[in-house]
């Protein structure tokens, strides 16, 4: 297996779970640096908090104020160890399940509380 | 054989999808105020859109990723926010204008004020998206949209002086009313080159599961389809130039536009004009709101497809639901649809750099396009469009202030 | 020294200096490979791609501008180094340094 | 570079001033108002023709008339101050008059 280009091929790449369901993008990639050892690719982070940090401090501050206004406390962020990566290609496949991810909280909440209460929302394909 | 069916369908799709509230309004305003003189701007807009659609379609067919996917993947989240916010804002305005177009058509037919129609129209559109598939949205609205050919019939029946039309296809500027002229030129370009068109087109290539084998279909669709669509806007301009301009009628309200076809074609022309306005704007409503939801879903990596049940892609389905209902509000509270359309078109023109310039990088990236990267003709065209987009950005606000009235 | 965690985004675009204090470019890419000694599923960074665009460097800090400028200036002033991990000192991730002089570094194609 | 910036700084305020003047400035000039009036007058005449030929519905013709009425009303309010001379005023009065006539004729045609 050749070298993986982290900025080009991994950061912002589409993530899919075991059954190829889309589960967000690589919002941040954490490296572990230790003297005398090569930096280790440690964690994939998915979630709004990670994205906000990439935009800038001002954006983090606005986001915090916004969330405080609406009383949102919990950060729904998923941190996935990099050794869960099964395949790196057009998408990155992770050895996880969509329903176990905290970052998919909104998707589940909308499904349960909104979408499934409207007729015609269920089933696989139309 | 199957492929030629696809080609034909693709061409029909672009024709039906080309004419919508923006091009109908701006073409007839241009024809009423400046005769054939702005025809060259329609030609320029059509050509530019053709190139952009061919490129984003090729990008999707080869890489199996949409343009929005690649905007995020190649340029990072920080940069991605710029096209996201810009496209979201202008597409929302255009979406509201399209809902306005459908509503005003219904008002002309029934006499019931347009503001009453906005919410029902949005709900009907939403129900179609909720229950329908991509094929229904794409092909259904396109086939019905062919009614727009009535503009060509109307223009021919008025017997335009073709040499004069030909001269209009060459750039020229009038000696007076320059600010208004250039303002309309910018609006026409905004109406022809809408980001939602190529974002929708590239997502559609993925929905229809295009592969490298579809590159021929893509080229013909983007080329011929836009050419025919562009001709229909030229026909609208010609009809306005022959019916409204000689009488000194300016288009101050949408209601005045129907006379453009009623004059040469009688009652049939009047009815078909209402049908065209209603159907094409409704089709565009669906396409724009899908384009917005696609861009959000692809940018953030959510599950998305118009072919999935909403329960399978809840965030995607809720995005188009919320956006569609919100976009009905300005019309429902009685905002003037024509004024809204004009502002949206200028805003669209100003937003172009953030979606056009990144293509310069993507279309030359061999990692993405393998050996289907841009050749020099496409690159020259793209550089010209990029420069044009920057000019539009700079000129939009001053022209809105000077020529908008 | 214990391990520290750094976000990839924080490293990208950082200006790199050489041992003599000369600015040699900005970090634009990190190459990772599966670590051979581990249990087989551990990726480690093996090389750093550092690029410089001459006069355009100052404005080319964003990823987008980097790519655009790289295309335009490829023929003229673009220089790229591929630096092995053990020559890159990340003690202070905000001020990465290479542990040798610029002239000792191998230039690479623009990958 | 600095010289350019200074020049921009010099020009910017006057440019901004000019733009605001145009944007929110004084009531629209007389020429423009006369144009609007004649545009609506012609609209009424064309609508009458088309209605006579059965090309357009009465419902629609009524909407066009309402458009003309609101344009008339708006112009009546603002055209006075825009007319600076006696000649101007007589032009304005004539234009308003012909629009009123055209509206009346359309009303007669549609029977409302």
pLDDT at site A120: 83
Measure Cα distances from B286 to B278, B324, B353, C21 in Å. Answer: 13, 9, 25, 58
Q: What does pTM read for this prediction?
A: 0.91
- Chains A/D: 3 or more C-beta pairs closer than 8 A? no
Q: Are strands A14-16 and A92-94 parallel, antiparallel or unpaired?
A: parallel
Cβ–Cβ gap B360/C68 under 8 Å: yes
Map out the domains of chain C with their CATH numbers. 8-104 (2.30.30.240)
Locate the chain A residue with the closest alpha carbon to C28.
Answer: A7
Map out the domains of chain A with their CATH numbers. 6-117 (2.30.30.240)
| C37: contact with A, CB 8 A cutoff | no
pLDDT at site C66: 62
- Residue A56: Cβ-neighbour burial (10 angstroms; 0-12, 13-18, 19+): exposed
- Residue B18: Cβ-neighbour burial (10 angstroms; 0-12, 13-18, 19+): buried
Is pLDDT above 70 for A75? yes
- Residue B56: Cβ-neighbour burial (10 angstroms; 0-12, 13-18, 19+): buried
Do B57 and B205 contact (CB within 8 A), yes or no? Answer: yes
Cβ–Cβ gap B78/C62 under 8 Å: yes
Handedness of CA A40, A42, A45, A50 (dihedral sign): negative
Q: Which of A101-115, B184-198, B326-340, C26-40 has the lowest mean pLDDT?
A: C26-40
Helices B314-332 & B114-131, crossing angle to 10 degrees? Answer: 170
- Residue C65: Cβ-neighbour burial (10 angstroms; 0-12, 13-18, 19+): middle
Residue B402's Cβ-side half-sphere holds a number of Cα atoms within 13 Å equal to 19
- Give chains near A: 3+ CB pairs under 8 A: B, C
- Residue B363: Cβ-neighbour burial (10 angstroms; 0-12, 13-18, 19+): buried
Cβ–Cβ gap B76/C64 under 8 Å: yes
- Chains B/A: 3 or more C-beta pairs closer than 8 A? yes
Q: How far apart are CA B199 and CA B136, in angstroms?
A: 18
Do B276 and B19 contact (CB within 8 A), yes or no? Answer: yes
**A 70-89 → B contacts, CB under 8 A:** none
**C 64-83 → A contacts, CB under 8 A:** none
pLDDT at site C104: 83
pLDDT at site D36: 92
Q: How far apart are CA A66 and CA A72, in angstroms?
A: 9
CB count in 10 Å sphere of residue A111: 22
| C11: contact with A, CB 8 A cutoff | yes
Cβ–Cβ gap B77/A22 under 8 Å: no
**Partners of C25 in the β-ladder:** C16
> How would you write the pLDDT of chain B (405 residues) with one tens digit per residue?
466 777 777 777 666 667 888 999 999 999 999 999 999 999 999 999 999 999 999 999 999 999 999 999 988 898 899 999 999 999 999 999 999 999 999 999 999 999 999 999 999 999 999 999 998 888 888 888 889 999 999 999 999 999 999 999 999 888 888 999 999 999 999 999 999 999 999 999 999 899 999 999 899 888 888 888 899 999 999 999 999 999 999 999 999 999 999 999 999 999 999 999 999 999 999 999 999 999 999 999 999 999 999 999 999 999 999 999 999 999 999 999 999 999 999 999 999 999 999 998 899 888 888 899 888 899 899 999 999 999 999 999 999 888 876
Domain range B2-403, CATH class: mainly alpha
pLDDT in tens, D55-101: 999 999 999 999 999 999 999 888 877 777 888 888 889 999 999 99
- Torsion of Cα atoms, B10 then B16 then B22 then B23, to 10°: 90
Do C110 and C80 contact (CB within 8 A), yes or no? Answer: yes
Cβ–Cβ gap D43/B259 under 8 Å: yes
Q: Are strands A22-25 and C79-84 parallel, antiparallel or unpaired?
A: unpaired
DSSP-derived secondary structure for B213-279:
GGHHHHHHIIIIIHHHHHHHHHHHHHHHHHHTGGGT----SGGGGGHHHHHHHHHHHHHHHHHHHHH
Q: How far apart are CA C52 and CA A42, in angstroms?
A: 28
Q: Which two tokens stand for residue C108?
A: 């690479």
Give the closest of C9, C64, C71 to B79, CB-based: C64
Q: Which two tokens stand for residue B264?
A: 């040469």
Beta carbons within 8 Å of B391's beta carbon, 6+ residues apart: none
Chain C positions touching B357 (Cβ under 8 A) are: 68
The size of chain C, in residues, is 111
Most confident of C13-27, D68-82, D96-110: D96-110
Q: What percent of chain A has pLDDT over 90?
A: 72
Q: Which two tokens stand for residue D74?
A: 């708006």
């Amino acid at each position: 297996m050749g070298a993986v280009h982290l900025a080009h091929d991994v950061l912002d790449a589409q993530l899919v779970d075991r059954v190829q369901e889309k589960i967000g993008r690589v919002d941040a990639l954490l490296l572990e640096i230790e003297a005398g050892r090569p930096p280790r690719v440690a964690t994939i982070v998915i979630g709004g908090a990670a994205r906000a940090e990439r935009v800038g401090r001002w954006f983090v501050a606005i986001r915090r104020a916004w969330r405080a206004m609406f009383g949102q406390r919990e950060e729904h962020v998923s941190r996935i160890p990099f050794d869960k990566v099964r395949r790196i290609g057009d998408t990155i496949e992770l050895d996880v399940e969509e329903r176990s991810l905290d970052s998919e909280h909104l998707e589940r909440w909308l499904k349960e509380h909104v979408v499934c209460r409207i007729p015609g929302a269920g089933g696989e394909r139309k | 054989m199957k492929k030629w069916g696809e080609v034909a369908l693709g061409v029909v799709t672009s024709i039906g999808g080309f004419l919508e509230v923006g091009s109908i309004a701006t073409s007839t305003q241009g024809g009423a105020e400046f005769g054939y003189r702005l025809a060259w701007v329609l030609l320029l807009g059509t050509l530019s859109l053709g190139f952009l659609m061919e490129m984003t379609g090729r990008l999707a067919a080869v890489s199996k990723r949409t343009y929005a996917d690649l905007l995020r993947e190649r340029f990072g989240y920080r940069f991605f926010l710029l096209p996201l916010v810009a496209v979201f804002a202008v597409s929302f305005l255009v979406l509201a204008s399209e809902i306005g177009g459908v509503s005003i058509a219904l008002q002309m037919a029934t006499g019931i004020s347009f503001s009453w129609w906005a919410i029902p129209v949005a709900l009907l559109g939403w129900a179609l998206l909720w229950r329908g598939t991509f094929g229904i949205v794409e092909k259904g609205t396109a086939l019905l949209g062919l009614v727009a050919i009535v503009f060509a019939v109307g223009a021919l029946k008025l017997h335009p002086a073709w040499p004069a039309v030909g001269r209009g296809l060459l750039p020229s500027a009038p000696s007076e009313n320059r600010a208004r002229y250039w303002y309309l030129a910018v609006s026409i370009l905004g109406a022809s080159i809408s980001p939602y068109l190529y974002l929708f087109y590239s997502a559609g290539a993925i929905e229809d599961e295009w592969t490298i084998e579809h590159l021929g279909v893509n080229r013909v669709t983007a080329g011929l389809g836009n050419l025919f669509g562009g001709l229909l806007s030229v026909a609208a301009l010609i009809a306005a130039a022959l019916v409204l301009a000689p009488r000194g009628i300016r288009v101050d309200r949408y209601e005045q536009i129907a006379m453009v076809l009623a004059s040469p074609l009688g009652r049939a022309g009047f009815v078909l004009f209402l049908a065209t306005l209603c159907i094409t704007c409704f089709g565009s409503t669906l396409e724009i709101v899908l384009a917005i939801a696609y861009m959000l879903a692809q940018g953030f990596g959510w599950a998305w497809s118009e072919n999935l049940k909403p329960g399978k892609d809840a965030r995607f389905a809720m995005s188009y639901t919320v956006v569609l209902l919100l976009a009905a509000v300005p019309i429902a509270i009685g905002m003037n649809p024509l004024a809204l359309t004009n502002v949206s078109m200028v805003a669209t023109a100003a937003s172009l750099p953030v979606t056009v310039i990144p293509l310069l990088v993507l279309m030359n990236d061999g990692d993405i396009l393998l050996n289907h990267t841009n050749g020099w003709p496409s690159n020259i065209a793209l550089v010209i469009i990029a420069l044009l987009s920057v000019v539009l950005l700079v000129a939009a606000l001053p022209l809105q202030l000077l020529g908008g009235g | 020294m214990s391990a520290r965690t750094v976000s990839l985004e924080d490293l990208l675009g950082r200006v790199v200096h050489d041992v003599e204090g000369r600015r040699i470019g900005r970090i634009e890419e990190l190459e990772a490979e599966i670590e051979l000694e581990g249990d087989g599923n551990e990726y480690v960074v093996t090389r750093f791609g550092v690029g410089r665009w001459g006069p355009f460097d100052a404005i080319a800090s964003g990823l987008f501008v980097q790519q655009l400028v790289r295309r335009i200036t490829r023929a003229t002033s673009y220089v790229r180094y591929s630096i092995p991990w053990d020559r890159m000192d990340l003690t202070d991730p905000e001020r990465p340094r290479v542990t040798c002089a610029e002239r000792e570094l191998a230039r690479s194609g623009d990958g | 570079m600095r010289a350019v910036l200074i020049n921009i700084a010099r020009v910017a305020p006057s440019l901004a001033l000019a733009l605001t003047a145009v944007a929110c400035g004084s009531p629209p000039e007389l020429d423009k108002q006369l144009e609007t009036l004649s545009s609506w007058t012609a609209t009424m005449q064309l609508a009458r023709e088309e209605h006579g030929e059965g090309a357009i519905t009465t419902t629609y013709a009524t909407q066009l008339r309402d458009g003309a009425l609101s344009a008339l009303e708006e112009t009546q309010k603002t055209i006075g101050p825009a007319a600076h001379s006696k000649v101007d005023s007589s032009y304005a009065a004539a234009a308003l008059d012909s629009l009123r006539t055209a509206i009346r004729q359309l009303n007669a045609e549609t029977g409302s």
